[in-house]
């Protein structure tokens, strides 16, 4: 199984988003909500990645820390 690319927050103008593998998008979206980060529902694409658009005002530093913690927790499961 190939390793997934690192999850990063991408900023385009005032909007921020995260590209995440489709199989993990719903779980990541729910994880972010549980930690106070609001976003639009994941947007599917044909590339196997979904895009989670964070709502304006999201604390990008907090989101990055949450992504790191979530990625570490997934690594422990495998």
What angle separates helix 60-77 from helix 22-34, to the nearest 10 degrees?
120
Who's near 38: CB < 8 A, 6+ residues apart? 32, 54, 55, 58
pLDDT at 78: 63
What is the chain's mean pLDDT, rounded? 88
In a domain, 29, yes or no: yes
pLDDT tens digits, the chain, 78 residues: what are they? 345 568 889 988 888 999 999 999 999 999 999 999 999 988 777 888 899 999 998 999 999 999 999 999 888 876
Please state, in angstroms and as integers, the Cα–Cα distance from residue 74 to each residue in 5, 14, 29, 45, 77, following that order. Answer: 13, 30, 14, 23, 5
pLDDT at 62: 95
In a domain, 3, yes or no: no
Using CA atoms, how far apart are residues 54 and 16, in angstroms rounded to an integer?
Answer: 6
Provide the domain limits for residue 24: 9-71
Number of domain units in the chain: 1
Residue 49 sits in a domain of what CATH number?
A: 3.30.70
In a domain, 78, yes or no: no
């Amino acid at each position: 199984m190939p390793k997934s690319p690192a999850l990063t927050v991408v900023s385009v103008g005032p909007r921020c988003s995260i590209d995440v593998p489709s199989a993990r998008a719903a779980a990541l979206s729910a994880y972010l909500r549980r930690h106070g980060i609001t976003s639009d529902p994941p947007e599917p694409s044909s590339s196997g990645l979904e895009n989670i658009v964070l709502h304006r005002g999201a604390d990008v530093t907090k989101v990055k820390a949450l992504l790191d913690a979530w990625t570490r927790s997934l690594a422990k499961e495998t």
